[in-house]
Structure 1
Amino acid sequence: MGQLIKMQDYASRYEQNIYLYPSRYVRLKKHQWEKLKAAWENNDASVFMNQSQEENPDWLEEERKPLIDKLKGLWKLGKKGNEEEDLLDIEQIEHDSEEETILQFETNFTYRPDTVEELKHQFLDQLFRFQMKWASSTLTEKSFVDKRFYYDERLKFFLQRFPDTFLVLYLPLFLLKKAPVEVETIIISPTGVWCISLLEEEDSSVFIGSKERFWVKRVNGEEKKVLNPILALNRTAKIVHQIFRMNDIELPIHKAVLCRNGYIDHPAAPFDVQLIEKRNYEEWFNNMRNLRSPLKHIQLKAAQGLLQYCQTTSIRRLEWEIAEEE
């Protein structure tokens, strides 16, 4: 399951330390899956007993209050003692608390799945919601997520169908020259960066590509104009390239128009853009899925370079506002 390191302009834990959270996520997923699978194989009723499915599940709740109480205490000490030493203490508690927070992800089932595949699907769905928390909040900040993202099939596709080592920026907003610019989805794999524009409407639609601003979509004997996806794709790749150049990052940048449920007919397609549609989708997808390479330093450096130019809109958590007032 890929890692959601940035979504639109929401606060992300990965922005705080990109070198820490990716490996932490991999350990979390492995630990919880092994624990859950063992319980399923042993028919452990305590794991699959009926549990209340609240509107806000456990993995979307705020961090536990004892941690905040500790931080409040240090906040007060900082006003009396050595601020530098107290700051180090706060950073240490934050680090320790994050280690504890990892183990707070617990699966929530109302029944025992009949097969391992069903178990896996339910596990990934719950892990997806946990990732949404990491991609929309930090210890001190939180963003208000549009609920549609929790049901976004395209977002789930990028996360649930690719390896853990794929870092995903989903429709991020870059802040360039003090102006926000929304771009296409960016995936940072261990071997390269993919800028992907999704072009999907009715099943078996045929898109007639051209260099013009609009393409033509044909379906059920009707024609309709759609915006040329390569325009946004080129803008995205250009921004990535500029950021990489400024940070001395050397990683291949690929551009792709992805149409899983239809066809693309573009005889004069740009040589540097891959058109992935029904006829070649499975081959491309399998090549991506079978990339068994660990996280690489250059990959994390590339993610850090992109994240530092992303816009973030968030508010300070209420607990911290209260701590400051006290």
Structure 2
Amino acid sequence: MGQLIKLQDYVSRYEQNIYLYPSRFVRLKKQQWDKLKIGWENGDSSIFQEGFQTHQVSTDWLEDEKQPLMDKLKGLLKFGKSETIDETLFDSELEETEEESEEESLDFNTSFTYRPDTLEDLKYQFLDQIFRFQMKWASSTLTEKSFFDKRYYYDERLKYFLQRFPDTFLVLYHPLFLIKKAPVELETIIINPTGVWCISFVEEEDLSVFIGSKERFWLKRVKGKEKKILNPILALNRTGKIVQQIFTMNEIDFPIYKAVICRNGYIDYPASPFDVQLIEKRNYDEWFNSMRNLRSPLKHNQLKGAQALLQYCQTTSIRRLEWELNDESKNVD
């Protein structure tokens, strides 16, 4: 499944170290899936019933880390929000402690209320649980957290990006970029091993037909009715331009693609811009399968591009209460 490295302006663990977390996520996910699959095949009911009842004391996915972990971590790190952190700056003790916490959290989140009848059903339930786990990584770190809007748990398009694509796809979902000190919300950006995709959706009623043009508005036709919608290519061009500028400033040579997607309807735009792909009902399966079948591993240039983009993203967060109290106690001492 795709990895959510930035959600709006929420603090993200990937911002701390883009070279560490993508591979860690893949490993944690595989470990938990193997454990769950073996338990399912062996009829281990504790995973699906007892385990859930034991751990059902909290459903807050943004719950602060356990106190023993915080006691162990105090004094180990103090990150500034504006610092640029790469893999060489991670202290090994902090890394091990942080990883232990994430493994415990992931293990907790993969408990179910019942044993699925088929392996396929188990896989879908597992993906839903990992989706919620990703929300935690995309909205909190060990020292900070953002105020999370729970509507994202039910965001169909966000789930689409995270659950239908390979682990090597890094997703920035409607990120806020700081451009000349002003926040600008961009379209969804996917960074895969072969390039960057800037994606805009035009989807409403099934079998709608969107008449494209260079004007500010497009025309939507469905069941004999017409309605104007904002031209999606305008926001798409703005997103692509900003990504290109950031890459140029950081001397990153990586292909940038732009696409308007309509999975349940049609786009009629014969004179569409040459640098924008129109993905609609007639050619969607071909495009989707080509993306799904991209099995290339994570690339250095891909991670470098992701790091460059994350550095220009706006982040709004607060320090966790226990870290604030720790800072205050140090000041008193």
Distance between the aligned counterparts of 1:150 and 1:243, measured in 2?
A: 30
1:262 counterpart = 2:228: no
The whole-number CA distance in structure 2 between the counterparts of 1:97 and 1:114 is 36
- Percent identical pairs in the alignment equals 75
One of 310, 318, 325 as aligned partner of 2:321: 318
Of 184, 191, 203, which aligns to 1:181? Answer: 184
2:69: which partner in 1?
Answer: 67
Q: Secondary structure at the match of 1:103?
A: helix
* C-alpha separation in 2, matches of 1:73 and 1:176: 34
Whole-Å Cα distance in 1 between the matches of residues 91 and 178 of structure 2?
28
Cα deviations by residue, 1:31-61 (Å, 9 ceiling, x for unpaired): 0001101111111111112534859537543
The DSSP-based 3-state class of the residue aligned with 1:240 is helix
With over 3 angstroms needed to count, the CA separation of the structure-2 counterparts of 1:24 and 1:90, relative to structure 1, is closer
| 1:93 Cα deviation from its structure 2 partner | 3.9
Matched, 1:96 2:96: yes
Q: Does 1:231 align with 2:234?
A: yes
Q: CA deviation at 1:151?
A: 0.5
Whole-Å separation in 1 of the counterparts to 2:75 and 2:283:
59
Q: Structure 1 length normalisation: TM-score?
A: 0.93
Give the unaligned 5+ runs of structure 1. Answer: 76-87
**Residue 57 of structure 1: aligned partner:** 59
Deviation at 1:64, TM superposition (A): 1.7
Structure 2 partner of 1:80: none
Structure 2 counterparts to residues 64-213 of structure 1, below 5 A? 64-72=66-74, 91-104=91-104, 105-106=106-107, 107-213=110-216
Which residue number corresponds to residue 78 of structure 1?
Answer: none
Give secondary structure in 1 for the equivalent of 2:314: coil
1:74·1:90 contact (CA, 8 Å) conserved in 2? Answer: no
Gaps (5+ residues) in structure 2? 78-87
Q: Distance in 1 between matches of 2:286 and 2:36?
A: 32
How much has 1:147 moved relative to structure 2? Answer: 1.3
Q: C-alpha deviations, 1:48-95, integer Å up to 9, x for none?
A: 1253485953754322211211334669xxxxxxxxxxxx99944432
CA contact (8 A) 1:185 1:197 kept: yes
1:175: how far off? 0.3
Deviation digits for residues 81-136 of structure 1, max 9, x if unmatched?
xxxxxxx9994443222120231112121110011111000000000000000000
Report the equivalent of 1:277.
Answer: 280
Give me the whole-angstrom Cα distance separating, in 2, the residues matched to 1:46 and 1:202. 44
Which residue of structure 2 aligns with residue 14 of structure 1? 14
Aligned AA (2:155): D
Shift in CA distance, 294/100, structure 1 to aligned 2, threshold 3 Å: same
Find the counterpart in structure 2 of residue 45 from structure 1.
45
Alignment check: 8 A CA contact 2:172 2:190 kept:
yes
Q: Is the 8 A contact 1:193 1:252 kept in 2?
A: yes
Q: Describe the SS at the equivalent of 1:226.
A: strand
Contact 1:60-1:129 at 8 Å conserved across structures: no
Aligned to 1:2: 2
Question: In the TM superposition, what whole-angstrom CA distance separates every residue of 1:217-248 from its partner, at most 9, and x where no partner exists?
Answer: 00111000000000000000000000000001
Q: Which amino acid aligns with 1:102?
A: E
Report the CA distance shift for 1:33/1:207 in structure 2 as closer, same or farther (over 3 A).
Answer: same
For 1:49, what is the secondary structure of its paired residue? helix
| Distance in 2 separating the partners of 1:323 and 1:291 | 46
Give the RMSD, CA atoms, in angstroms.
1.8
**Is contact 1:8–1:171 with CA below 8 Å preserved after alignment?**
yes
| Correspondence for 1:85 | none
CA shift in 2, pair 1:291/1:57, >3 Å: same
C-alpha separation between the residues in 2 aligned to 1:143 and 1:191?
31
Q: How far apart, in 2, do the equivalents of 1:288 and 1:70 lie?
A: 42
In the aligned structure 1, how far is the partner of 2:97 from the partner of 2:225?
Answer: 58
- Do the aligned partners of 2:6 and 2:175 also contact (CA within 8 Å) in 1? yes
